[in-house]
Structure 1
């Protein structure tokens, strides 16, 4: 009982003999547990017998005893060879049962989260210390919390880096990831579609002000603000998934060969390759999105009509118009974002002072901004070339170099970053929606799988 009494005293920060929701939640954040608000409230609701919104020691002890009894059973299940401890092989076996291939360096990181005596094994006492204030209810949710406390790498085509749930090989694991990430991605793209369309107009026309851009969008009615959103969703989600798959397979291969975590240079290289390949596969849909964004209301009756018009009136090669600056844009963007994102997040998550939702979101935005700044002029060239043969007001940009010169002559240095403000404005709500919904959906689908 003494360890629980000591924990109770530690949690009772104002020394009133009671634990409040805020005190319990603050301690859980120190353990690296994010978005636990609903679960903490549920704990209070279940064990607060006198309904005063607080836990006294007797109520707290009841919660601790239930947790200990429940997780002792789970610990014995995790200990495959029944030696009384959990090691790296047990972690790898657990992930394999869930349809996920995890590299040995990441299995080692999970053990190190719990290992207090540097033995590279976890006994029952260490496991209980790790789990006792984690409000997860089952093994599936525990694995999910491990994945979110490790740093998993990113894909470009969303507005901000996504958290990828490690190298999934089983159908169940991939179904969980694709459903969670795909649904949240579709919602975030749809909500922010008007801002994305405005960004495209500014990239093509350059000299337009924000107000003029909104006026032109408003001329087509409310519905026109979502022109091109369907193809944007159709392109974005599978491209993100493909990029993550390529990156993950290369990552696990590299780590298993070196038996070490990736360096910044390796993350940059893998991000460049995975981003370039996925982008090349889905590039024709990017061209369709730009054409639909720039059309006058009613020009095209849907995605199929737009594709048919390009093929008949231009040529098949038009579906890859602007591909050269686009791929040159993608390579530094994906590489910089991967390298900066994982490096910053690894540092932040190892420091409890920076391990909060708001600060992690800020660090993700820094990574996104770094990728944008490094490649945005090429993105402007790409969009202008995609718009050629359609928008008479756009300037010709037959080559990357001539396109850069033309932008500078017309609009100066500022022209290289036309629409970037709208891109940053879109990124904030887009990332918040992605972060919130992906976590929620993944938790729901993982619980259903369990």
Structure 2
């Protein structure tokens, strides 16, 4: 067996044997080199994602040919094991060669991440192959060998977001952020990214949202209108761009709503937490804080919700813009009109947030326990699926209140009803003013 030299020192026989076995497993076409595709396939079997493969190649591909030979592969593993051993010793406070639950909890506390013993146990169990509830060096090394972390801060961030703080509807029940993450600007970057993603998604689904509002408001008078005839009637009445009526203010309210909700959540969290400085909230407390923060944000931006409904339902030429719509409502209906439907809207936050959170956590934890024995990260697609199902359940539970809210918001307006007959495309206008 050849004597492989790395950083001026040779690999011991056991290391070279392990590295050779790993290399052979990854080298699917047996050409003596591992490309990015082979590495992705191998890491996917370990529950890791394509970004890990790209980071490993970027860090270890010395000659920049996009391929890893055995020397480059072994050099990377040797350097990475050295980093992992340093991190292992930083966790092993009593130097007994084992990491227990208390040491994980203490180390995360020093990094500004507060976890309960139960949460620390879940972290440990994801690495504990022999069921001893302790982690030795071999278990630690094998678990993180192809996870390109460089320090404990990165591992703590990984644990934090893959074990206990992933919430499907983050705007309803906001995520927990450490002091370091706040100072680094991560919080606001996530809010901005969420606002941009929300703007794109709302714009893409705006025609369907407008049709939904139309059907909610008209009820029995909308019989015979389906998806196709409804959209066709909108186009006949106001052209293709009429499908996006009300989308401008719907996108505009994302930023203030998200910012107000986050700031309100932080203040409410401080009141609930009290003297437990630095501690994170339990799931039940986060649900309460998230619901109250959502109600606070809705109270402040609710007039924009009313404007969105009125602009969505308007016929061509009824309003010249957002300001004109607000002026006409204020002139003819008064200030109270801007808060029509506020009570059912606020009441709907509780069942939506509660069911969304409960279903999401249940599905995610069930998946982790059944399928993710060696990995704490269920993967993006699994989290997306859990979020979709939980959000759908929350929407179904709160939909009756949303229906009442929308009808109340539309009261007092003259609303255009599309005639679905092929002989008529002009429709008619009815008054929705309460009598």
After TM superposition, the score normalised by the length of structure 1 is 0.68
Q: How does 1:302-341 map onto structure 2 within 5 Å?
A: 302-341=321-360
Cross-structure match for 1:445: none
Is the CA contact (8 Å cut-off) linking 1:385 and 1:397 kept in structure 2? Answer: no
Is the CA contact (8 Å cut-off) linking 1:334 and 1:371 kept in structure 2? Answer: yes
Q: Distance in 1 between matches of 2:409 and 2:168?
A: 22
Cross-structure match for 2:313: 294
Match among 369, 384, 403 for residue 380 of structure 1 = 403
Once the two structures are overlaid, the 10-residue window that deviates more, 320-329 or 293-302, is: 293-302
Is the CA contact (8 Å cut-off) linking 1:168 and 1:174 kept in structure 2? Answer: no
Cross-structure match for 1:446: none
Residues 404-445 of structure 1 deviation map (CA, whole Å, 9 limit, x = unaligned): xxxxxxxxxxxxxxxxxxxxxxxxxxxxxxxxxxxxxxxxxx
Q: How does 1:357-436 map onto structure 2 within 5 Å?
A: 357-392=380-415
When the two chains are superposed, the root-mean-square deviation of aligned CA atoms in Å is 4.4
Q: Evaluate the alpha carbon distance shift between residue 80 and residue 238 of structure 1 in structure 2; reply closer, same or farther with a 3 A threshold.
A: farther
Q: Distance in 1 between matches of 2:254 and 2:350?
A: 17
Residues 46-72 of structure 1 deviation map (CA, whole Å, 9 limit, x = unaligned): 646798976454332122123234555
Cross-structure match for 1:217: 234
1:228 aligned onto 2:246: yes
Flag the structure with more relative contact order, 1 or 2, with Cα contacts below 8 A and sequence separation at least 6: 1
Is the CA contact (8 Å cut-off) linking 2:191 and 2:258 kept in structure 1? Answer: no
Aligned residues: 386
Is the CA contact (8 Å cut-off) linking 1:204 and 1:387 kept in structure 2? Answer: yes
Q: How does 1:15-414 map onto structure 2 within 5 Å?
A: 19=34, 21-22=36-37, 24-29=39-44, 32-33=47-48, 36-41=49-54, 43-44=56-57, 47=60, 55-70=68-83, 87-94=104-111, 96=112, 102-104=114-116, 106=119, 109-110=122-123, 113-114=126-127, 127-136=140-149, 142-152=155-165, 154=167, 164-169=174-179, 170-171=182-183, 172-206=185-219, 207=222, 208-218=225-235, 219-243=237-261, 250=269, 253=273, 262=282, 272-352=291-371, 355-392=378-415
Is the CA contact (8 Å cut-off) linking 1:323 and 1:382 kept in structure 2? Answer: yes
Once the two structures are overlaid, the 10-residue window that deviates more, 310-319 or 47-56, is: 47-56
SS at match of 1:192: helix
Q: Evaluate the alpha carbon distance shift between residue 232 and residue 369 of structure 1 in structure 2; reply closer, same or farther with a 3 A threshold.
A: same
Is the CA contact (8 Å cut-off) linking 2:83 and 2:151 kept in structure 1? Answer: no
Q: Evaluate the alpha carbon distance shift between residue 91 and residue 45 of structure 1 in structure 2; reply closer, same or farther with a 3 A threshold.
A: closer
Q: Evaluate the alpha carbon distance shift between residue 28 and residue 266 of structure 1 in structure 2; reply closer, same or farther with a 3 A threshold.
A: farther
Q: Distance in 2 between matches of 1:58 and 1:16?
A: 14
Structure 2 unmatched runs, 5+: 1-14, 418-429
Structure 1 unmatched runs, 5+: 400-450
Instruction: Give the C-alpha shift of residue 93 in structure 1.
Output: 2.7
Higher helix share: 1
After TM superposition, the score normalised by the length of structure 2 is 0.70
Q: Distance in 1 between matches of 2:114 and 2:298?
A: 26
SS at match of 2:412: coil
Q: Evaluate the alpha carbon distance shift between residue 80 and residue 245 of structure 1 in structure 2; reply closer, same or farther with a 3 A threshold.
A: farther
Instruction: Give the C-alpha shift of residue 175 in structure 1.
Output: 2.4
